[in-house]
């Protein structure tokens, strides 16, 4: 399915052929990546538990985002709100409006399920652009503190600073 198209940007459903392209591009950027993550997204999409989007820029795979309606993760175990998961734009395609358009579509899809959406954002410097973008888009800290995986962090404990160390943010959509 195509969700958006203009002269440069096309946003559509994730396809099996995208998994290897995204993996290879992220490895070339120096990211620690495995195709397994994208294969899992394809399986989730096939089972109808997620909507997984890919952005093309001038015909090249450039970014991705995933919406999980009713996901039971993080501080929102009730599963009433959709979660935006695993959002990225390949470095060589950044600053072309791709990330904003992916977020627009993900929020539009989320709004079909609830009036609020949530996401987790990483805490190390590679997440700086995303942190600023979420703030500009009206996302606010949910107040549950820092999480590691599916558990809130306990005071004075040690945690690995990796992609599983996050703060959760919410946004009222309507």
**Looking at residue 86, which CATH number applies to its domain?**
3.40.630.30
Range list of H helices, 10-151: 16-28, 36-46, 98-111, 128-136
> What was the pLDDT predicted at 75?
85
What pLDDT tens digit does each residue of the chain (174 aa) get?
999 999 999 999 999 999 999 999 999 998 888 899 999 999 999 999 999 999 999 999 999 999 999 877 788 877 789 999 999 999 999 999 999 999 999 999 999 999 999 999 999 998 999 999 999 999 999 999 999 998 999 999 999 999 999 999 999 999
User: What is the structure's pLDDT at 156?
Assistant: 97
Question: Quick one: pLDDT at residue 32?
Answer: 80
User: Domain residues for 85?
Assistant: 2-172
For residue 126, the model assigns a pLDDT of 87
| 14: exposed, middle or buried (Cβ count in 10 Å: 0-12, 13-18, 19+) | buried
Where does residue 40 rank: exposed (0-12), middle (13-18), buried (19+ CB within 10 A)? Answer: middle
Global pTM reads 0.93
What's the confidence (pLDDT) of residue 10? 98
**Cα–Cα distance between 93 and 88 in angstroms, integer?**
10
In total, how many domains does the chain have?
1
Give the whole-angstrom CA distance, residue 48 versus residue 143. Answer: 30
How high is the pLDDT of residue 134?
Answer: 97
Q: How many CA atoms lie within 13 A of 121 on its CB side?
A: 19
């Amino acid at each position: 399915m195509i969700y958006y198209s203009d002269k440069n940007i096309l946003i559509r459903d994730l396809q099996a052929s995208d998994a290897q392209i995204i993996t290879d591009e992220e490895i070339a950027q120096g990211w620690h990546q495995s195709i397994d993550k994208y294969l899992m997204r394809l399986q989730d999409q096939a089972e109808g538990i997620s909507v997984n989007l890919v952005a093309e820029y001038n015909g090249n795979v450039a970014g991705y985002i995933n919406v999980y309606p009713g996901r039971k993760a993080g501080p929102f175990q009730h599963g009433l709100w959709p979660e935006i998961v695993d959002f990225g734009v390949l470095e060589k395609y950044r600053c072309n409006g791709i990330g904003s358009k992916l977020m627009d579509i993900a929020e539009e899809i989320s709004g079909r399920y609830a009036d609020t959406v949530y996401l987790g954002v990483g805490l190390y410097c590679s997440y700086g652009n995303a942190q600023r973008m979420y703030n500009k888009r009206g996302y606010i800290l949910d107040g549950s503190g820092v999480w590691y995986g599916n558990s809130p962090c306990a005071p004075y404990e040690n945690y690995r600073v990796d992609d599983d160390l996050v703060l959760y943010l919410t946004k009222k959509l309507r």
